Structure 1
Amino acid sequence: MKKRVQKSALFLITLSLWAAAAFAQTPGSFRIVPERANPGQEIEIVYDAAGTILNNRKNVRAVVYAYRNYKWYASDLNLSATGKVWKAPYKVPADCGIIAVKFKADTLVDNNKEAGYFTMFLDKDRAGAMAKGAYAGWGLARSPKYGMDIPGYIKFEGISDSATYHWLNQEISFNQSAKSVLVYPYALATKATYKNDAGPRLQRVLNYLRRADASETDLLNARRILLRIMQDKAAADSVDQVMLQRFPKGSLARLHAFKAMPVGSDVNLLLKANRQFLIDFPEQGGNEEFARENRIDYPTIYQNIIVLGAYADKNYAELDKYIGKMPFSMLPTLYYKIVEIPFSRKEVTEKALLPVSEKIIKRIEMLRDNRPDEYAYFSPEEWVKFVNGSIAKRILPIHAHLLNTAGRYQQALAYANQSKLLLGYTSATLNAELASILTHLGNKPALRTLLEKSVFENQSSAEMLSMLKDMYIKRTGSEKGYDQYLNGLRNSAGGEKMAEEIKKEMFSKPMVDFAMEDLNGATVKLGDLKGKTVVFDFWATWCVPCKASFPGMKLAVDKYAGDPNVVFYFVDTEERSANYKAEVARYIKDNHYNFNVLFDNKAKDAKATGEVFERVCKAFNLSGIPQKIIVDSNGNARFITVGFKGSATELADEISAMVDMTKTGK
């Protein structure tokens, strides 16, 4: 007994020291003035950068995380310097119990070496007590496994469960209103601390949650504790019966209805079910935590209705109805499904897609300018940066293209430049769009800069190279010296790095034997190609990236047009339509491609072509198109590349490097 008392005393002393460290910041890197403050009070945040990773850095800034009503809210703070000491006034929110601070300059962040900078506040109405949320924030911020810490603030294994239990117990003892909010993490900490002896304590918690006038939230917490912590399904079932009786349209009934929704490919049936679910169980009034835990995802339901409605009804009426309910997390996926896919497949006209794209962009911009509560742990600046980064690569270039084709060039330029701020000149798709926009606007200086920097990054299209050459001829009066000028623009270090990386991928394995027909009906066999370096490009008429890679492949074909020992074959595969050969011939002719085309064979009882391609995939343990295979003069495959990165010039250089290495054998 004496030993237990000693351990308890030692434990309480340790906790007291932790509390003192959080409350009274001793002189060092971080402190507040006055040292003891209340919520609602104006304080001064002081940071001494000497001895930290931000020592001698300029433009030191801060992000302050305020724990308000048991949730973390981040804000940006501008600091001013006196020597190496940075200061800023800060108004403590009236409902804040504790703050955490991080300091940053450029890409460096000082968060007290993953320990965090914290300050707790005194309750202004209760002498000797901490403000509401202080105990819980101090405990949970350093208990990541409980899922109520500050995302991305500190990397920390966590304090002990007994320490977490202590701080939660303190919070609930001093602030009874916290019981419903913190009851589940409190129960987890109780079980982890007392283990097999936790039963009586947990039972007292359950008695409170199951009282006669318990709210639905209390009963849901009781159910959660019984199922997940105590693993008492029978008792949980009894709670379910009470909830279904008292709340016939409540969270449990909602879950049963959600699980009963049909699945499958019947668009009309799915659309009807999703619509009816919203009528029976609207999102408002539901328990968000229970819905999230049981994957009752209303944004997905809204997205289903929008997407299914677009396919079933061939209009976007549902988008107007639900776009205002869509959270940011769902908007990139929604854009992909109803704009990017039909855009890339040319299933919907660009004129029809533009208003759809604008509505989603408008929603994104509104949320970017008004940070949603679920992203409160981002400071406003961090939030804007996160949103812009999420849409820069795929969404903004498409939107800029739709505006460009509609003749709205200034707006197209604004969105393309917004993307360029983050991507620079590293995206061939964006570069090509900007080149088109600048051409329409007649901005030749900006166009020249774009074209030259795109060559340096090796992210150009064939059309852009043609533009660059035309500009050179108009500027100099002839094409003399153009090749030297073009080579001077290239990033030689980048080319050497590409060659080194490609060389690592070199191997040697016999190519799959075949006999396939070309566009003229002549049969081509692998044996006929012995003595030549051969590039096979497996593609299909329905494959968007396959066809997108063809301008780059044409650059490579043209480069080796005068070399009789290098040949290219474009193998059309995985086709299902009856007239695919005519479709392929028309596509090659309409786009002026000087390609040798081979048609893959149809295997016995197969619905689509692909007999050779399937054997290739099996032999080399690969799948997917576009797929390029470079074969040496002895019939051995030496390189394989799958997919298309988006740059015609980069692809041409990649294929050229592989061909040259294959020819020389090194």
Structure 2
Amino acid sequence: MKKNKSIITLSIILLFSLSWNAKAQTKQTMQSRIQSMNEETDPEKNVVSMHSIIRDFKLDMVNNSEDIDNLKGLVAISFLKAGAFQKFEVYLGLISNKFNQTSYLNFAACDLFERKINLDYAKVLAQRTVELYDSYKNDPSARPVNFPLEDWTWFMRRAAYPYYETYAEILHEKGEDKTALFFEEKALKGIDLEDAGTSSVSLYTALLASQGQEDKVYEILLKRASIGKSSLDMNLRLRKLCLKKMGSDRTSVFLDSIQRNINNTYKVKIAKKMMINLKAPDFSLSDLNGKRITLASLKGKVVVLDFWATWCTPCIASMPAMEKISKAHPEVVFLFVATGENGKGAVQRVASYVKKTKFPVHVLMDIPLKGTPELFQVASAYKVDGIPTKIVIDRKGKLRFSTTGYPSDTELINELEAMIAVAKGQ
């Protein structure tokens, strides 16, 4: 679902940027007030904010219809998050453009699905999303007035993916796999499965398997595994299918040969395109037990730093893969640097997460910079501009690799395996 919400959020931001033509400073002021609405938990206060923004910036339905639509959408979503579904429907109905309504319908369905709240209503919203999208996807008059035709055509092709897949995910959750497969295939139409997101391929193959299409599942999973773009769950399902087809001995040899090829490919790619040679900045941080850890004390060992936060969804999603690779390399020091944990109770918040999940094992607490508490000491020293970020340091204290983001379980594992091997001089 993360990708769905990212696409929707991007489209909303795009609409604002296209329709608002004021001076940059005024625009920023308006955006800051919109951001405040995003952060506000009281929907009634957002109603007041919406009216004040319309008044203060002299928005009108002719020249600023998209801005006003999106303000109404923000109010609608705030009512949804508060559980006031009737008022959500009221403000959703006030949105004049069908395109904007579809975006907020899908956003609402995603939100309920992710929070596992009222899945019956989430299903209704997702169904309404695809029905509304289907009603105007080929109608040029549905294009917002300030949305360039070229951008509109591109977006309408891309919009099918999140809208149909959200509905497929919810149907799958409710056990309606046959219908879910129909809509997931509509979502993936025109998308090369080699390039599709891991979560999409995982859902698609699970739905195919539910309908007895094991041969197609095997073909897709094998292809994804051979290019290093699967997940731990997908690898497990592939192994089970291989066992059915060729027995345990041949399965192990077969899958091991695939992994060796991937490892060699990644080593060449890593060594040629990603390796750097800088002195790793020293640091001194406390772990959750108050023990000080310095990089200098770890000289002679390969060190992996994982910059993460409890509020970072991709960071949390990458933890199973990080657990697997850390267990496979007891000779490597894995340090999980909790950064960006602002406010009181940061240590307790991180410790609570670790206690609940039993991982990560060795966590260090990054320290806010004096005067600029939004920045943190070690993350700044390593020029971390997004999390999760993995840093690999060799035995001599040289920073060899820095990689940001979380593509998939196996891509992360393959990448780190290659980085560790290079850092160890293998």
Q: TM-score by structure 1 length? A: 0.49
Structure number with the higher helix fraction is 2
Amino acid paired to 1:431: V
- For 1:389, which of 158, 182, 196 is the aligned residue? 158
Task: Please list the CA deviations of residues 632-656 of structure 1 after superposition, one character each: whole Å capped at 9, or x if unmatched.
Answer: 11112111111223x2111111111
Give yes or no for the alignment of 1:428 onto 2:207: no
Residues 484, 558 of structure 1: alpha-carbon distance in 2 compared, 3 angstrom cutoff: farther
Q: Matches of residues 646-665 of structure 1 in structure 2 within 5 Å?
A: 647-664=408-425
Tell me, what secondary structure is at the counterpart of 1:421? Answer: coil
Unaligned runs of 5+ in 2: 1-28, 37-44, 145-151
Q: Distance in 1 between matches of 2:366 and 2:32?
A: 40
Q: What CA distance in whole angstroms lies between the structure 2 residues aligned with 1:373 and 1:643?
A: 36
Aligned counterpart in structure 2 of residue 472 of structure 1, from 242, 248, 252: 242
The 5 Å alignment of 1:55-454 reads 263=33, 265=36, 267-273=46-52, 283=61, 286=62, 291=63, 296=64, 298-312=65-79, 314=82, 315=85, 316-318=88-90, 320-322=92-94, 325-328=96-99, 330=100, 334=104, 338=108, 346=115, 352-372=121-141, 374=143, 387-392=156-161, 394-425=162-193, 426=195, 427-441=197-211, 443-454=213-224
Q: In structure 2, how many angstroms separate the alpha carbons of the residues matched to 1:655 and 1:532?
A: 16
CA contact (8 A) 1:514 1:612 kept: yes
Give me the whole-angstrom Cα distance separating, in 2, the residues matched to 1:463 and 1:586. 26
1:569 aligns with 2:331: no
SS in 2 for 1:400: helix
Q: Give the corresponding residue for 1:250.
A: none
How far apart are residue 538 of structure 1 and its match?
0.2
Cα RMSD between the aligned structures?
3.9
Distance in 1 of aligned mates of 2:389 and 2:129: 34
> Contact (CA 8 Å) 1:540, 1:574: kept in 2 or not?
yes
2:252 is matched with 483
Tell me which residue corresponds to 2:329.
Answer: 560
- Aligned residue for 1:516, secondary structure, equals strand
Conserved in 2, the CA contact under 8 Å of 1:457 and 1:490? no
Deviation at 1:534, TM superposition (A): 1.0
Q: Is the 8 A contact 1:428 1:461 kept in 2?
A: yes
Query: Which of 1 and 2 has greater Rg?
Result: 1
For residues 417 and 498 of structure 1, the distance between their equivalents in structure 2, rounded to whole angstroms, comes to: 35
> 1:637 corresponds to which residue?
399
Shift of 1:591: 4.0
Q: How does 1:582-597 map to 2 (within 5 A)?
A: 582-591=348-357, 593=359, 595-597=361-363
1:271 maps to amino acid: M
- Asked whether the equivalents of residues 516 and 525 of structure 1 are also in contact (C-alpha less than 8 Å), the reply is yes
Aligned length: 376
Deviations 1:408-441 (A, max 9, x none): 2222212222233322322211012223334544
Shift of 1:307: 1.7
Q: Distance in 2 between matches of 1:496 and 1:513?
A: 32
C-alpha distance in structure 2 between counterparts of 1:322 and 1:449, whole Å: 47
Report the Cα offset of residue 267 of structure 1.
2.3
For the Cα contact (< 8 Å) 1:306–1:318, is it kept in 2? no
Specify the code of the residue in structure 2 equivalent to 1:454.
Answer: R
Task: Tell me the distance in 2 between the aligned counterparts of 1:631 and 1:552.
Answer: 19
Deviations 1:8-65 (A, max 9, x none): xxxxxxxxxxxxxxxxxxxxxxxxxxxxxxxxxxxxxxxxxxxxxxxxxxxxxxxxxx
**Alpha-carbon offset, residue 320 of structure 1:** 4.4
Rounded to whole Å, the distance in 2 between the matches of 1:359 and 1:274 is 30
Cα distance per residue 1:85-117 (max 9 Å; x no partner): xxxxxxxxxxxxxxxxxxxxxxxxxxxxxxxxx
After superposition, the C-alpha distances for 1:517-551 in whole angstroms (9 at most, x for unaligned) are: 33444322112211111111100000111112223
CA distance in structure 2 between the partners assigned to 1:595 and 1:556 by the alignment:
13
CA distance in 2, matches of 1:474, 1:546: 35
Structure 1's unaligned 5+ residue stretches are 1-258, 376-382
Instruction: Label 1:574 to 1:434 Cα distance change in 2 as closer, same or farther (>3 A).
Output: same
Cα distance change of structure 1 residues 417 and 639 upon mapping to structure 2, 3 Å threshold: same
Q: Partner residue of 1:542?
A: 311
Q: Does 1:616 align with 2:382?
A: yes
- Rate the CA distance shift 1:520–1:399 in 2: closer, same or farther, 3 A: farther
Q: CA deviation at 1:397?
A: 3.5
Q: Could you list the per-position Cα deviations for residues 151-203 of structure 1 after superposition, in whole angstroms to 9, with x for gaps in the alignment?
A: xxxxxxxxxxxxxxxxxxxxxxxxxxxxxxxxxxxxxxxxxxxxxxxxxxxxx
Cα distance, 1:660–1:472 mapped onto 2, change above 3 Å: same
User: Letter of the aligned partner of 2:416 in structure 1?
Assistant: I
What is the distance in 2 between the residues matched to 1:605 and 1:374?
47
Question: How far did 1:401 drift?
Answer: 1.8
In 1: Cα distance, 2:143 partner to 2:355 partner: 53
CA distance in 1, matches of 2:191, 2:224: 12
Shift of 1:445: 3.1
CA shift digits 1:255-295 (9 cap, x unpaired): xxxx9999563623223347889xx9985xx5xxxx3xxxx
> Structure 2 CA distance, aligned partners of 1:436 and 1:596?
35
Tell whether the 8 Å contact from 1:536 to 1:630 is kept in structure 2 after alignment.
yes
Whole-angstrom distance in 2 between the partners of 1:540 and 1:374: 40
Q: CA deviation at 1:607?
A: 5.4
Q: Is the contact between residue 307 and residue 388 of structure 2 (CA under 8 Å) also seen in structure 1?
A: yes
- The one-letter code sitting in structure 1 at the alignment partner of 2:71 is N
Report sequence identity in percent.
Answer: 24
Change (3 A) 1:534 1:558: same
